[in-house]
Chain A
């Protein structure tokens, strides 16, 4: 069947197995499986693509829940949406959540996803108590931050390249309400937003939307959105959404003029310098999940997301250069997300590191790859790197320079025989 990542680029033909039990996954391994595991297909590029894939979505059972500690053990095909539906009314929340709840637990581990609380709570895998991994030879190995450490740190953020994640334990966090108290602050330019991230370091959640079409004095103008779990509000589930983009939009729906207009309206809709409101966690964390298949907005050719992080010391200067390059090329992005990360963790290929990160969407069209190559050199010059989960086009050289622990990662893969069995289009492109 035809499969692709969320960016609808690239699209390939693949044969997909959907095992119903760990034993059936083992049968796939013993029958000579060669390829990659796939969950909800929400990585953007080619991380979950290969001519043969194992879909983990039928392994979607909860295995155990401890009411005292909040540790949920579940199979890897369980989605974050499913966990929220069931556990929010019982007073538990995800310790870390990305910008969509339509990802599987296995995918969240393989990408070591991060969220708006990275500066305080780190990334998803820092809340994994242990995980069960099926190795290339069909054996199941349990690993954690204290047991089989190297395998654990290679698997967390390891893009599925060490084996098939079967199940994991997640430490949920207690909440007393399903609402978030949100404060939105206006930052008139890049210097201001960087200072504000510093100033509000103790906020549980913080993220900024940046107008990357603004130029001159207004360059980097942003809305900083801070959030805290509301204490005195009800525990209530999200209401199901049913809006969906039913088909691909015409290729020119998003152009430099519509994007500029959108950004301007979005920035000015917040009239006051500071606004406060209480909103349900669902629109707060997952605004785009409200429109299913929003990726079709970018048309049939698809899009790519360019997400990079720059180390603390060079972020201001590097970010300025990137924004200047975007403005001069006239390639804005309607939803650009800026975030200040906390410290780096021990996983070999995890993306976050202390500093500033920016995520931008670009439609696939003429010249976009040359343009992104230009951005690559700015990112590299400032010691930054790209998020593998969003990537569809980075060069091997750039990857190996910006992820210095890739060799250690390869050593672990080789030791467990994973290098000859687990691979994706991305891993082949990156030379791992």
Chain B
């Protein structure tokens, strides 16, 4: 049943991805701007521009270019990067890990921040701790990520010897350490959503009959909270995280730039500015896949947390 569900979801992704591909392709091609001129600069003679366009097929009608792009796509070929002159797939694989790592650690940090705060707020509903928890993290929502990042770099990284001032690192331990501040930056941005969602569902859940039953059974307060309260309350929060992933990915673009992480976001920004068509298309596709897949993952996690959720 679950397998059929997966297959159906994956199949349903195809039109989504196709639609996305079309939109991205025509958006980046129809935006004014000429990669030849951008890359070769104002000084390049007209012949060099023509040769460039001929080489990359930009002299052909747009629909032809689109068809050859689709043709390549079916064969797993995302085209060649104009500025790096290497296959997009090669360029992107190298950049995948930092972004995934950042997303994972941000998600983890967001939960780590949210759980205790939401519990405190829910258990002290409408009292001072609750008000504090509801107001203070909202700051995270208003503070732009690049600014939070710079603050963390200035006031934490510069003073703590073992934290790097941006950069990625050569070994896995180094990389994990390098992710602490960027992860925190993204988490600060998303925590307000998760805290509020977790808090309100926890309040609701704690008033449910089964909690009263658990209490009546004589279970310890902590166990009631963990096993019965949080397990149920966390479900909507997982959805909130999943739904906000698009936004989260957007934030990682900025955070990657501030922390000099060699991820997909940094690549995307350069590619858009330089009209590196193949890379923009490839990345948009990958980001789209990422969002769709994580939403699927969120559904699975939800289903595994809550037997009442049917995977169908």
Q: Do A and B bind each other?
A: no
Chain A interface residues toward B at CB < 8 A: none
Chain B interface residues toward A at CB < 8 A: none
